[in-house]
Amino acid sequence: MKPTEIGSRQAGYDRRDFQSYQKNMKTISKTAKMQSTVLDAKRRGRMIAFVPTMGALHEGHLSLVRKANKLADIVVVSIFVNPTQFGQSEDLSKYPQSLDEDKRCLRKLDVDYLFLPDEAEMYPDGYVTYVEAGKITSILEGASRPTHFRGVTTIVAKLFNIVQPDVALFGQKDAQQALVLRRMVKDLNIPVKLIVAPTVREKSGLAMSSRNRYFDGEQLNRAACIFQGLKEARKLIRSGEADCGKIVAAIRKKIRQTKGTEIDYISINDTETLDPIKRVSGKVLISVAVRLDGVRLIDNIIV
């Protein structure tokens, strides 16, 4: 090999490094290494912001990472498709993955650490411990996915212990998840501030979701019916409609008009307790779960 070849190759690598990697993001796959890294940083007074994800990152995730960068000295993002929050008949094995692309996005956003454990690292042989957060985990998403929130609270409790964040960021798209995690953090006295950021949407109004990757353009257009239904409900409430039966019926009509949809639930609930509501008086959470061509999508608005 000629010296010039080596030279040009190195130059090529360098250029790519400087273009894409503003910071030298470190990828850590071991819990012990991740934990000792952040504990060292905290002993030196550093603040840590954390965005837990299952990868297949979209603009919703990236908006959380940008916010995290403004809030702390060190930003940690985790990518772990958590098996304990998927039911047996769910899409764990085909959950979308795009690790190389995800890493590129996170490097561009100046993330300090990507925590990327595998399943054996998070749930080693003999694993038995679960965190359960009571009644609010058994309605809405919990009714459709009975062990889902037990998986969510458990993995988030573990990740909080591993990453030791001062602040952690979640999306409002998973409204019930945010409430369940607030409950867990309060009940277990976990010293972390939770920030729930607004749902990021496509131009069509469709909530950004990793599962949108299952769709082509035509399907994405149809999926927009969910948010159209929610907007319809908002319009009704703002024009004085208080009967939740009628509001739900309007959303149902909008979604049923669209080919390939199968409604799992449409529900109006208290924004804190998630108690079901019959007549709108104060703020309410309107949430929807729909299968489109077999792919399960959720969305919600607070009115």
State the amino acid at position 26 in one-letter form. K
Contact between 209 and its own copies by CB under 8 A: the answer reads no
Single out the residue of 42, 234, 252, 296 in contact with its own copies (rule: CB under 8 A). Answer: 42
Which of 265, 270, 268, 263 shows the shortest CA–CA distance to 241? Answer: 268
Q: For its own copies, which is the closer residue by CB, 34 or 301?
A: 34
Contact between 45 and its own copies by CB under 8 A: the answer reads yes
Q: Which two tokens stand for residue 295?
A: 């792919």
With both helix axes pointing from N to C terminus, report the angle between 148-163 and 175-187 in degrees, rounded to the nearest 10: 60
Instruction: Specify whether 58 is catalytic.
Output: no
Single out the residue of 61, 145, 173, 183 in contact with its own copies (rule: CB under 8 A). Answer: 183
How many Å apart are CA 90 and CA 94, to the nearest integer? 9
Contact between 35 and its own copies by CB under 8 A: the answer reads yes
Contact between 203 and its own copies by CB under 8 A: the answer reads no
φ, ψ for residue 168 (rounded to 5)?
Answer: -130, 145
Strands 113-115 and 48-53: what pairing? unpaired
Q: For its own copies, which is the closer residue by CB, 86 or 160?
A: 160
Q: Least distance in Å: CB of 172 to its own copies?
A: 22
Single out the residue of 2, 43, 203, 278 in contact with its own copies (rule: CB under 8 A). Answer: 43
Q: Least distance in Å: CB of 135 to its own copies?
A: 6
**The one segment of 22-30, 36-44, 48-56, 198-206 that binds its own copies by CB under 8 A:** 36-44
3-state secondary structure (DSSP) of residue 64? helix
Which of 134, 191, 125 shows the shortest CA–CA distance to 157? Answer: 191
- Residue 46, CA atoms < 13 Å, CB-side half-sphere: 18
Single out the residue of 14, 101, 119, 187 in contact with its own copies (rule: CB under 8 A). Answer: 187
**The one segment of 1-9, 59-67, 185-193, 285-293 that binds its own copies by CB under 8 A:** 185-193
Contact between 274 and its own copies by CB under 8 A: the answer reads no
Q: Least distance in Å: CB of 164 to its own copies?
A: 7
How many Å apart are CA 124 and CA 146, to the nearest integer? 23
Q: For its own copies, which is the closer residue by CB, 1 or 128?
A: 128
DSSP for residue 172 = G
Q: Which two tokens stand for residue 226?
A: 């969910």
Distances (CA, A) of 12 to 6, 9, 15, 291: 10, 5, 5, 46
Cα 32 to chain centroid, rounded = 24
Residues in 117-156 at the binding interface with its own copies, rule: CB under 8 A: 127-136, 153-154
Q: For its own copies, which is the closer residue by CB, 30 or 256?
A: 30
Single out the residue of 19, 93, 191, 218 in contact with its own copies (rule: CB under 8 A). Answer: 191
Q: For its own copies, which is the closer residue by CB, 185 or 244?
A: 185
Which residues, including other chains, have CB under 8 Å from residue 260's CB and lie 6 or more apart? 219, 222, 292, 293
Q: Which residues pair with 197 in a beta bridge?
A: 171
Contact between 51 and its own copies by CB under 8 A: the answer reads no
Q: Which residues are catalytic?
A: 61
Contacting residues toward its own copies, per CB under 8 A: 31, 35, 39, 42-43, 45, 127-136, 153-154, 157-158, 161-162, 164, 183-184, 187-191
